[in-house]
Amino acid sequence: MIRADKLPHLPERFPVACQWEITCRCNLRCVMCYTDCYNRPEFVRQELTTPEILRIMDELAEAGTLELCLTGGEPMARTDFFDIYEHAARNGFLVTVFTNGTLMTETHADRFAALPPHRIEISLHGATQETFERITQGKGSHDRCLNAVRLLLDRHIPLVLKTTAMTLNQNEVLAIKRYVASLGSVRYKLGEDMRPELDGGCGPFHYALSNQDLTVLNQQDDDLWAESCKQQSEDPPPCRSGMHRFHIDAYGRLQLCSGNRTRSYDLRAGSFREGFFEALPTFACQWKAPVVSEKIQPTVHHA
C-alpha cells in the first residue's frame, strides 16, 4: 500500500480532474468577474438541477474522476450546495471549493469539518475594507470574508487565499500576502490574468494591469519576483486540457477547459464517457501543440 497525494500512474488520456462551475449565481458583483454576466434569473433558471448534478457526478465517479473542483459564480450561493458537496465527498472525490467566503456560517464550517475538503480557496482581493468592497461591490463582504478564513482555520480546513492583481488593488497585494503569511499554514496565490466575460464583454480588462505595472509589483517581493522570472524564462508548455482535466459549466456542458468554451458536449443529453472519450478529442484549442497526442486531435477545425 502506498500513501500518495496523487495517482502515481495515469494513462496518457484519462478524466482524472474536473473543474465544475456549478453556478453563475453570486452574492457579489466583482468588477473583473467573467461569469457575472450570467448571474441573472433567466440564466440561473437554466442551470443544472440538483438531481442532474448528482447524476452527472455519479457518471464521473464511474469513469474514474478523482479530483473535483466546485466553482462558480459563488458555489455556496446554490441553496443545494451542501447536497452537492457532501455527495461528492462521501463518494470519495478529492474536492476543492473556490469561494468568496462571504456566505460562510459556523454551521457551514462545521459541515466542511465533518467531511473535510481537499482544500478551500478563498478570493481575497483587498487588504483594506475600502479596496475589497470597491472590487466586490458588496457592503460588509470584507468582514464576512475574513470571518470565513477564521471559521475554516479554527477547524483546520486546508486553505488557500488568492488575489487577482488589478489596478484597484495593486498597492495592497503585498499587504495581503503579509496577512496570509501571518496565518501560518495558509498558502497564497497571486493571479495576473483577466478573462473576457462569458458573453464576450471586455469589462474585466478595464482593471487589468499593464506589463510594466505587473513588473513593478512583482519586483517588490522576492517570492513574486522569482515566480515572475521563472514564468518569463520558460516557454509556456503546450496546453493539455482535455487530456487529464476537463470543465463542466453551469448548464451541463462539457468543455476542454474553463478558458475554452468554443465547443461543448451536452451532458444533459449524452453520457460523460461519450463526451470525454469521443467528443472532447475533436474540440479545437489554439494553445495546443500541433500534435500533442494521437489520442486527441487539437487541430480539428469546426464551424
Query: Could you tell me which stretch among 2-10, 99-107, 124-132, 276-284 binds other proteins (CB under 8 A)?
Result: 2-10
- Judged by CB under 8 A, the residue of 118, 134, 162, 195 near other proteins is 118
**Secondary structure letter of residue 48 according to DSSP:** P
18 binding other proteins? (CB under 8 A): no
State the angle between helix axes of 81-90 and 106-114 in degrees (0 to 180), rounded to the nearest 10. 20
Binding mask 139-168 for other proteins (x = CB under 8 A): -----------------xxx----------
* Shortest distance, position 180 Cβ to other proteins, whole Å: 17
Q: How many residues bind other proteins (CB under 8 A)?
A: 32
* Shortest distance, position 74 Cβ to other proteins, whole Å: 23
229 binding other proteins? (CB under 8 A): no
Output the CA torsion sign for 213, 218, 219, 225: negative
* Shortest distance, position 153 Cβ to other proteins, whole Å: 10
Integer Cα distance of 238 and 235 in angstroms: 9
Work out the burial of residue 267: count CB atoms within 10 Å of its CB; fewer than 13 is exposed, 13-18 middle, 19 or more buried. Answer: buried
Grid cell at residue 222: 522576492
- 60, 47, 19: which is closest to 258 by C-alpha? 19
What are the φ and ψ backbone dihedral angles of 162, each rounded to 5 degrees? -145, 150
119 binding other proteins? (CB under 8 A): yes
115 binding other proteins? (CB under 8 A): yes
Integer Cα distance of 132 and 125 in angstroms: 6
CA dihedral 285, 275, 120, 109 (to 10 degrees): 150
Binding mask 25-64 for other proteins (x = CB under 8 A): ------------------------------------x--x
* Shortest distance, position 232 Cβ to other proteins, whole Å: 30
- Judged by CB under 8 A, the residue of 79, 107, 185, 212 near other proteins is 185
User: Residue 154 in contact with residue 109, Cβ under 8 Å?
Assistant: yes
Residues near other proteins (CB under 8 A) are 1-11, 14, 16, 61, 64-66, 89-94, 114-116, 118-119, 156-158, 185
